[in-house]
């Protein structure tokens, strides 16, 4: 099959869906790989590196004409990809990438109308067999790492304890809220840098994981038995629960030099965990990094991709930290994606095995229809 790799178009996007090392495997499986001119440059992979592996450097038109088109940010996830793209794609083509179909269901509807068979890797089930394809986890790991670095870069103190001839500096105090993949990596990175780290998560099961990477778990004494879905993601809880949670968290936030929030619930607005009042109670020079900004934010005052100063407290709400480590982010993404393709393409043809939850859960549109139940629901088609 002809497999196309696009040059990403979203603002600030530096990742690429396939890196040169992954061209080999696809070619051995009999595929022709078309890479759009300059697709990997921002990630550190020049065209020549793809060409050396046997990929064809091609125009956007050719790449978008391939039978399978690979994206990091497919229509939906990339708001700039819309009508223009759909005009190039033909019925029966397959697209694979992050597509945010729950957040941007209209894009899914448009892909369905265009007759595209589209897969959203955001919808991969959290089952063992899917781990090697789990782009959300691989990218969240990098986001957590960079969130800690960002906080350390902006804090008016250093993280580690420092003993000098002129006395001792105490270590910085970090609080990480949400101990999922990103949160755990943020904890580990803050800890590596020498901070004293506390962590909080509504899911009681997160305590052991947070402690295993060096955090002290903050017990707010709240009951949250329903905080985890059967799929392993955090579930949405009632506003009353969040209110009590904010009250209890306030004191911990005020005593922290940095706060990193990572609480996201798939497909719905992120809960507000850090209020304006809590930010005002922090010491000047402190830093909040809100990793849920793309979903509305965990901090009441954060603005996506904008630095906000609140009486000397710096609020950062980066929506795409993986793109700031594009070489490694692309490498992990490309490996996840090619693992998915091995399952999707069998003997040179796309096989829609809907008995396989990996295929069934990620398939969003096919044969002119939006087929993913949760996306249909959002579009009022359920």
* Residues taking part in catalysis: 126, 131, 134, 137, 233
72-131 binders of its own copies (CB under 8 A) = 131
Q: Which candidate, 89, 76, 98, 97, places its Cα nearest to that of 116?
A: 89
Q: Any residues with CB less than 8 A from the CB of 141 and at least 6 apart, and which?
A: 181, 182, 185, 332
165 contacts its own copies (rule: CB under 8 A): yes
50 contacts its own copies (rule: CB under 8 A): no
Per-position x/- string for 3-42, each x denoting binding to its own copies as judged by CB under 8 A, each - no binding: -----------x--------------------------x-
175-234 binders of its own copies (CB under 8 A) = 189, 192-194
Q: Any residues with CB less than 8 A from the CB of 223 and at least 6 apart, and which?
A: none
- CB closer to its own copies, 157 vs 376: 157
What tokens were used for 133? 């394809």
**How far is 251 from 197, CA to CA, in rounded Å?**
15
Binding span for its own copies by CB under 8 A among 63-71, 136-144, 224-232, 346-354: 136-144
Binding span for its own copies by CB under 8 A among 55-63, 75-83, 331-339, 342-350: 331-339
Per-position x/- string for 280-299, each x denoting binding to its own copies as judged by CB under 8 A, each - no binding: ---xxx--------------
Position among 90, 312, 351, 354 found at the interface with its own copies (CB under 8 A)? 312
Q: Which candidate, 9, 3, 42, places its Cα nearest to that of 22?
A: 3
Question: Which residue is associated with the tokens 């088109």?
Answer: 69
Q: Which candidate, 237, 239, 238, 188, places its Cα nearest to that of 210?
A: 188
**How far is 47 from 56, CA to CA, in rounded Å?**
9
Q: At how many degrees (to 10) do helices 326-344 and 135-154 cross?
A: 170
- CB closer to its own copies, 15 vs 246: 15
Q: What residues make contact with its own copies under the rule CB under 8 A?
A: 14, 41, 43-44, 46, 131-134, 137-138, 141-142, 145-146, 149-150, 152-153, 155-158, 160, 162, 164-167, 169, 189, 192-194, 283-285, 312, 324-328, 331-332, 335-336, 339
């Amino acid at each position: 099959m002809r497999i196309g790799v696009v040059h990403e178009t979203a603002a600030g996007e530096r990742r690429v869906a396939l890196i040169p090392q992954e061209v080999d495997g696809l070619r051995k499986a009999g595929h022709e790989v078309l890479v759009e001119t300059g697709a990997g440059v921002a990630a550190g992979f020049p065209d020549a590196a793809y060409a050396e592996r046997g990929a064809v450097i091609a125009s956007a038109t050719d790449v978008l004409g391939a039978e399978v088109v690979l994206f990091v940010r497919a229509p939906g996830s990339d708001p700039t990809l819309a009508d223009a793209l759909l005009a190039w794609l033909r019925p029966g083509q397959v697209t694979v990438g992050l597509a945010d179909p729950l957040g941007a269901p209209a894009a899914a509807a448009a892909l369905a109308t265009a007759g595209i068979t589209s897969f959203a890797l955001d919808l991969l089930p959290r089952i063992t067999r899917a781990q090697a394809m789990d782009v959300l986890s691989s990218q969240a790991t990098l986001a957590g790492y960079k969130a800690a670095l960002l906080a350390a870069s902006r804090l008016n103190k250093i993280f580690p304890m420092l003993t000098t001839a002129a006395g001792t500096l105490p270590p910085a105090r970090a609080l990480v809220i949400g101990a999922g993949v990103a949160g755990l990596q943020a904890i580990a990175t803050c800890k590596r840098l020498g901070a004293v780290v506390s962590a909080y998560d509504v899911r009681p099961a997160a305590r052991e994981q947070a402690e295993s990477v060096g955090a002290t778990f903050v017990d707010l004494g709240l009951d949250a038995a329903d905080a985890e879905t059967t799929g392993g993601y955090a579930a949405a809880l009632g506003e009353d629960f969040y209110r009590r949670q904010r009250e209890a968290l306030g004191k911990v936030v005020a005593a922290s030099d940095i706060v990193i929030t990572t609480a996201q619930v798939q497909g719905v607005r992120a809960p507000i965990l850090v209020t304006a009042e809590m930010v005002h109670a922090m010491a000047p020079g402190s830093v909040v990094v809100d990793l849920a900004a793309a979903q509305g934010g965990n901090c009441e005052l954060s603005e996506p991709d904008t630095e906000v100063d609140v009486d000397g407290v710096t609020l950062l709400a980066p929506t795409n930290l993986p793109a700031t480590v594009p070489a490694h982010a692309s490498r992990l993404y490309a490996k996840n994606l090619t693992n998915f393709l091995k399952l999707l393409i069998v003997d040179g043809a796309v096989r829609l095995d809907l008995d396989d939850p990996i295929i069934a859960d990620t398939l969003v549109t096919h044969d002119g229809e939006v087929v993913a139940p949760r996306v249909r629901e959002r579009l009022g088609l359920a």
